[in-house]
Structures are given as C-alpha cells and as structure tokens.
Amino acid sequence: MEIRAATVLPARREPIELHTGDGLTLVGELALPEGRPPVATLVTLHPLPTHGGFMDSHVYKKAANRLPALADLAVLRFNTRGTSSDHGTSQGAFDGGEGERFDVAAALEYAEFHDLPRVWVVGWSFGSELALKWAHDPLVEGAILLSPPLHRATDADLDAWARFGRPLIALVPEFDDYLRPDEAERRFARVPQAEVVGVEGAKHLWVGEPYVRIVLDEIVRRVVPDRYPLPTEISAP
C-alpha cells in the first residue's frame, strides 16, 4: 500500500496540556509508537499563527501520522499561546515570539518530566525563530529548521546557538519567500555546526507530497539515521 498524503499509520495519540511558567495552559498532542517505546522525540514549533500556522500545519500533521510507525519517533505538537486548531485553543495571546519563550520551555519540561528520549526541536518558519531564540536547553540534542526566515531571530541568536554547540540543520526552499539557500549559507556561516540544505523546487510552505517526504526524510536522517530513507509503501493490514 502506497503511503499517500492522507495516510494515517497506527500510533498511540494522546491529547496533552502544557503549563507555562507564566500561568497559561496550552493544548497539544503526543503521538507515540504503538506497542513499543520511542527511540527519540520531536518537539515541533509551528508557523506564524497570525498567518494560519498551528499544530496541525500539514508537515507536522503528516509527521505525527507517519513517524511513530515508520521511525519509532515520538512527535509532540502543540498550539502556542493564543493559537487555535481542531485540538482546541491555547490560553493567552500571540506575543511576537517573546512570551512564547515560556511555551517552548513548557514543551521541553513536558518531554523531560515524561522521560521522552533524545529530544530534537523542529521549528517551521516562525517556529524556527522560536527554536533559535529559546530552545538552547541542555535537554535538546539538536534543532532542524524548516524555511527559517531569520527575521525575529537575529545574528545574536545565531551566535548564542553557536556557543550552545548542538547540531543545527536548516532546510531552505529554493523559492522561499523570505530566505533562499545562498543567503542562508551566508547567514548561518556564523554557526560552525550549522548545515544548510537547499531543497530544489520547494517553496516556503512545502506544499506537495514530494516536498513533505523530503522534509520527513531529512528529519529522520539526522535524528534516527538507521531508519533513513523512509519507505513509500507499507504492507496493507
């Protein structure tokens, strides 16, 4: 059976709540492999909520639908403050990436308290800025950035990540609206451990199943390389 855009593979999917240091409750979901423990964890940070980003943004929804089964990964998704989706609305209001520091901390604290293994942060667009600014936590093994605009995240944030020393991988679409591969190479050069991966033909929103597969494959290649490449077909039940 071919894995298609709408394929949902078996997993344990649990609604969760995150509690921030400034007193808010955020809604989310944790997807875990069925019948076995995860080998690593993705904490995902979604695109800009004022432009339609939320925990169900399609790349993350497909990650939760596939990666627990195909790569034994735990996938933690949540709505940042003031963001709504079918899972519900997180308390608070959008704060331009500043108050969201508490949201990132709450997600990492949840992962630590629940003994989720080998945490990697995946940030997409606005979420990539949250990762760069607020995810240099000892729990984090590395970060993968999708379509990083480097707008709210400054050179000072890049320098902070350089000092943090953990791997940083930026997947940059060839036709991105904000930052394209050549400029990304220049900007990320100040982080010695950073790697920029230009993706031919892709755009900022990674629309289209071929581009989603590239993103999920690159995530798996870094986090659980023995599961790379992901299969495109599975045995029918």
pLDDT digits (tens, 9 = 90+) for 161-188: 999 999 999 999 999 999 999 999 999 9
Query: Does the pLDDT of residue 236 top 80, yes or no?
Result: no
Of 3.40.630.40, 1.20.140.10, 3.10.20.520, 3.40.50.1820, the CATH number of 12-225 is: 3.40.50.1820
Indicate if the pLDDT at residue 18 is higher than 80: yes
Q: How large is the angle between the packed helices 126-134 and 100-113, nearest 10 degrees?
A: 70
When pLDDT is averaged across residues 11-28 and rounded to a whole number, the result is 98
Instruction: Kindly tell me if the per-residue pLDDT of 227 is higher than 90.
Output: yes
Tens of pLDDT, residue by residue over 82-122, are: 999 999 999 999 999 999 999 999 999 999 999 999 999 99
Mean residue pLDDT of the chain comes to 98
What percent of the chain shows pLDDT beyond 90? 99
Q: Is the dihedral of CA 200, 185, 217, 65 positive or negative?
A: negative
* Distance in angstroms (rounded) separating the CA atoms of residues 219 and 214: 9
Radius of gyration in angstroms for the set of CA atoms belonging to the chain, rounded to a whole number: 16
Q: What pLDDT was estimated at residue 57?
A: 98
pLDDT for position 142 = 98
Q: Please give the pLDDT value at position 36.
A: 97
Q: What is the mean pLDDT of residues 147-171?
A: 98
Angle among Cα 49, 150, 133 to the nearest 5 degrees reads 75
pLDDT bucket at 68, cuts 50 / 70 / 90: very high
> Which pair of structure tokens corresponds to residue 25?
């409750």
pLDDT digit string (tens) for 201-223? Answer: 999 999 999 999 999 999 999 99
| pLDDT score of 237 more than 70 | no
